[in-house]
Structure 1
């Protein structure tokens, strides 16, 4: 693909042989569908490739590189286009554009102090820094003169201001609230006229997003042949969608994995496929198409899905298909689904995101606690089924005070026990107290401290159970969640008691 023009020692003005790009005229790229270009023409001043129905480019005339660095960059991009996914190739193209705007773009004799300044600029964008680092490593691996290992180590040690991509899952709940889910299901289930073809198509997109939560690129990549059904002897139909995986490393074409869908969605897709073939003929491959029979781009799918969510009364900034993915992932985690199964269902390369959903389950519990704690009906239930009346610490003899250990932390001053002083309770103190009628919580007791300790301990149970693959039917975790709810209800009762007359008597 490339070569050096001369292997002899260069002149003082050029300390290494001139590098020349001799790439193929056409570079084969990875494609998701059969109806997009499969090659990039390297003879053109602007290289163009496609993914998701969108064009991606690198304009070499716009880059302020020296002729030699330009040749090296073209060789690198030809390698990238052949090896990586199209969107990753665009990331590398963007990093070259960022590099071309720096003071080292017109020479390969990079001064170390100047390089450090440039790295400070590049690390503002994680993608720019990663792209430059990969570019430099690629050049070293090929023995291109002007690139050395010492400089690479400096680049490698430079860290970007990286933000964890799953931080928003850990820190906040970005799925659907219960009332939003109800509105969404009503939107999915509404009756539509057979003449409203666009509405019918995006109703299917919304329905599919709720059931399987594909990414926009997966919606885009779906073909009619990815949908299939079988009919049993008793005329029952079972529907399957072979969903293309969006982010599987090292694959030339996306792998497709079977996903069962509901009968209702399957029937919708069956009618939709028949309508497409009637309108555009059997040569039309795409499952979701425009009025001209062209495959919908990821932007068109995103806009249509956003419109459907808005019509359902769901408006969350910058979240469309990812909102439904977070909702499905968090819902699975809340039901005790193991991280590896969540990763498989969502098509992740690793269980990192799935562990984020699992870790977030105590946050879900806190949301439920807050809602339940303010519910009058729930308060009446808690008063009748859980603890005794709220009391003042000063009115209790010290012998009746309850103390215990949670999460290796000693906790006292939470309440009093109504059992006779010298009676041995068969249950674990503190853990069992908040669901016991003999427990009289102190109005100013350390209940928040108890809840925090229980949540930490529950999270440790989640981590250990996830590692052992035994998160389903985890009784200790379920007991902790029940106790946490009871503690939260007690906190609310104590707050109401301190604010006004108590009805606990």
Structure 2
């Protein structure tokens, strides 16, 4: 770095004394349950806290940071433990571990050019970049020597690589097939001998997962006191479970929301509580426990549920509670449940994921297509919107082929345009083609690719409209939905055309 560049990025903070961590001896952390430690002892060389029954640690001696940087990192982690959820704080630990393996760990303050160069490595993993960015921002806000607000703005502009924020929710929802659901219900409803209380508990968690779709951490956090039985005047029993929310921002303790449950599930929980309190005493607080009467950890819950799913003939890698959540969300969407209600039932912070269920689930698309496909009115409309001729790619001159870009993705080989070769079409290629009479789709065209790209782009419109608070009157989204429907109809026509051609050949 040149001298002028050093001067450019210098700040009054560079003249401050070296930072020394002088935080509290014990930092209060956010806890989900009453039976886990609420404080982290900062006088130890290894800081330990717990979440989901699992120990989370940061070993300061193993980080291999310079002494001053180590002190700064301690101050940041003390702040993070008090402000953020335990798992979020541990994400920052992973970022510090990555930092300790870079050249930046060997010296401090950092050279500007070296810092920017090292950030290319942070970009490979989004959590590492987010953690380092938060660390740097914390230090800037406190005026710590070696951290500059101008450099922070440059760090803030750096984006992680190979990350699609929509990839995890849009068109990635997975659920159970009909035969899998039947097998799962048989597994849930089977009768078990009274002595096999551990198997009964696993069955109960499976039933609860199917009915309410809680995350594993929510099952872990459930207490016996969260179960409520109300007996009406006419001797009817009504059951409620106060489900702890897993991902609510800025809450010291998880909020609990009432969830009505079926009579059968309520009876099973009531019987289970009686057995647990007989075995481990009336002072036992957790709803789900191990053989020693201690609260089941998240990892133990996942192992039990994975075994239950396998026994039901459902073996999907890396999917346990999330599989049941997706199945519940997709089932609600298929029944026409509004996105805001799905978000509330699943405990989401926003309706983005819920709208992915509503707008992009394969089931709802198939239902719409089947229902509309049987409608004579719909068939007449689609015939008026689409060209009646399906053509072969080999019979089309290259100049008539249609190409375009959807969702930043180049797409070609979908069909041919009937306009004269040198005629300029006033409409946007690909987007407008599927509702244009001049469009001649290829029987083996890449129409599925077009549909996928349109659905991804539609999700972006949904997210932007949600931020603007205008999801009802959204013309671009409505136009995309019409086009997606037209593309679906074209796919069906091409499939039927191919089948008819094969029948004629026979």
TM-score using structure 2 length: 0.76
Deviation at 1:478, TM superposition (A): 12
Query: 1:358 is matched with which residue?
Result: 358
Deviation at 1:325, TM superposition (A): 1.0
Query: 1:39 is matched with which residue?
Result: 39
Give runs of aligned pairs for residues 90-489 of structure 1, distance below 5 A.
Answer: 90-161=90-161, 163-164=163-164, 166-361=166-361, 363-365=362-364, 409=433, 410-412=435-437
Distance in 1 of aligned mates of 2:448 and 2:63: 61
CA contact (8 A) 1:412 1:446 kept: no
Distance in 1 of aligned mates of 2:228 and 2:444: 58
Distance in 2 of aligned mates of 1:392 and 1:152: 58
Query: 2:502 is matched with which residue?
Result: 499
Deviation at 1:392, TM superposition (A): 9.3
Evaluate the alpha carbon distance shift between residue 451 and residue 116 of structure 1 in structure 2; reply closer, same or farther with a 3 A threshold. Answer: closer
Q: Give secondary structure in 2 for the equivalent of 1:135.
A: helix
Query: 1:30 is matched with which residue?
Result: 30
CA deviations on 1:16-52 (whole Å, 9 max, x unpaired) are 4122111111111110001000110111110000000
Distance in 2 of aligned mates of 1:56 and 1:321: 22
Query: 1:422 is matched with which residue?
Result: none
CA deviations on 1:276-317 (whole Å, 9 max, x unpaired) are 111111111000000110000000001111111111111111
Greater mean deviation of Cα atoms: 18-27 or 235-244: 18-27
Greater mean deviation of Cα atoms: 138-147 or 163-172: 163-172
Deviation at 1:169, TM superposition (A): 3.3
Distance in 1 of aligned mates of 2:177 and 2:58: 43
Distance in 1 of aligned mates of 2:484 and 2:131: 45
Distance in 2 of aligned mates of 1:255 and 1:111: 45
Evaluate the alpha carbon distance shift between residue 206 and residue 19 of structure 1 in structure 2; reply closer, same or farther with a 3 A threshold. Answer: same
CA contact (8 A) 1:414 1:447 kept: no
Answering whether residue 83 of structure 2 is matched by residue 83 of structure 1, we say yes
Query: 1:434 is matched with which residue?
Result: none
Evaluate the alpha carbon distance shift between residue 80 and residue 467 of structure 1 in structure 2; reply closer, same or farther with a 3 A threshold. Answer: same
CA contact (8 A) 2:447 2:487 kept: no
Deviation at 1:486, TM superposition (A): 7.6
Query: 1:6 is matched with which residue?
Result: none
Distance in 1 of aligned mates of 2:20 and 2:458: 57
Deviation at 1:178, TM superposition (A): 1.3
Deviation at 1:165, TM superposition (A): 5.1
Query: 1:71 is matched with which residue?
Result: 71
Deviation at 1:181, TM superposition (A): 1.0
Greater mean deviation of Cα atoms: 330-339 or 77-86: 330-339
Q: Give secondary structure in 2 for the equivalent of 1:57.
A: strand
Gaps of 5+ in 2: 1-13, 381-387, 392-426
CA deviations on 1:410-458 (whole Å, 9 max, x unpaired) are 433899xxxxxxxxxxxxxxxxxxxxxxxxxx9x9899979979x969x
CA deviations on 1:96-128 (whole Å, 9 max, x unpaired) are 111122112233321111112210111111111
Deviation at 1:470, TM superposition (A): 11
Q: Give secondary structure in 2 for the equivalent of 1:283.
A: coil
Evaluate the alpha carbon distance shift between residue 501 and residue 408 of structure 1 in structure 2; reply closer, same or farther with a 3 A threshold. Answer: closer
CA deviations on 1:233-260 (whole Å, 9 max, x unpaired) are 1111111000000000100000000001
CA contact (8 A) 2:91 2:127 kept: yes
CA deviations on 1:49-96 (whole Å, 9 max, x unpaired) are 000000000000111112111111111111111111110110111111
Evaluate the alpha carbon distance shift between residue 469 and residue 32 of structure 1 in structure 2; reply closer, same or farther with a 3 A threshold. Answer: farther
Give the structure with higher Rg (CA): 1
CA contact (8 A) 2:25 2:43 kept: yes
CA contact (8 A) 2:18 2:145 kept: no
CA contact (8 A) 1:413 1:445 kept: no
Evaluate the alpha carbon distance shift between residue 229 and residue 487 of structure 1 in structure 2; reply closer, same or farther with a 3 A threshold. Answer: farther
Distance in 1 of aligned mates of 2:81 and 2:136: 17
Gaps of 5+ in 1: 1-13, 374-378, 395-404, 416-441
Greater mean deviation of Cα atoms: 233-242 or 350-359: 350-359
Greater mean deviation of Cα atoms: 486-495 or 303-312: 486-495
Query: 1:438 is matched with which residue?
Result: none
CA contact (8 A) 2:49 2:56 kept: yes
Greater mean deviation of Cα atoms: 221-230 or 138-147: 138-147
Q: Give secondary structure in 2 for the equivalent of 1:21.
A: coil
CA contact (8 A) 2:454 2:484 kept: no
Distance in 2 of aligned mates of 1:162 and 1:449: 25
Distance in 1 of aligned mates of 2:169 and 2:18: 50
Greater mean deviation of Cα atoms: 133-142 or 160-169: 160-169
Greater mean deviation of Cα atoms: 406-415 or 231-240: 406-415
CA contact (8 A) 1:29 1:39 kept: yes
